[in-house]
Amino acid sequence: MRALVIVDAANVVGSVPDGWWRDRRGATERLRDRLVSCAAEGLAGHPGPLDIVLVVEGAARGVESVPGVRVEESPGSGDDRITELVAETQERTRLVITADRELRRRVVELGAEVTGPRAVVGDR
């Protein structure tokens, strides 16, 4: 079974000071497009192919899924939706990408691995 990678879109987008605050949706679409190659090629310690879910909230709602990256809109807190996804997929290897300390704590308690935004955005 493929590993499931759940990406905290707001946190990862916010980790790169590239003007994302002027166009949150556009920044989220750029992140989604970068994740397509990760789905095929994998990430450090997680060879591809991977199932990737990009969790969006707020102004980033409306970003469409693309082949390789499923976009999941959170009706409320993105952190809550990410935690739910981790809890719903106990039978799989799960990797959550975020720098949010509280979210990291919550998902680790459910058995997920965590890594920071650099795993997908590099040192830009």
Mean pLDDT for 47-76 is 93
% of the chain surpassing 70 pLDDT: 97
* Separation CA 48–CA 29 (nearest Å): 21
* Separation CA 123–CA 64 (nearest Å): 26
Mean pLDDT for 9-32 is 86
Query: Which pLDDT belongs to residue 123?
Result: 54
Query: Which pLDDT belongs to residue 38?
Result: 95
Longest dimension (CA), the chain: 39
Domains and CATH numbers, the chain: 4-121 (3.40.50)
- Indicate the pTM of the whole model: 0.94
Mean pLDDT of the chain: 92
Give the model confidence (pLDDT) of 62-96 as tens digits.
999 999 999 999 988 899 999 999 999 999 999 99
**Chain position carrying tokens 């799960």:** 94
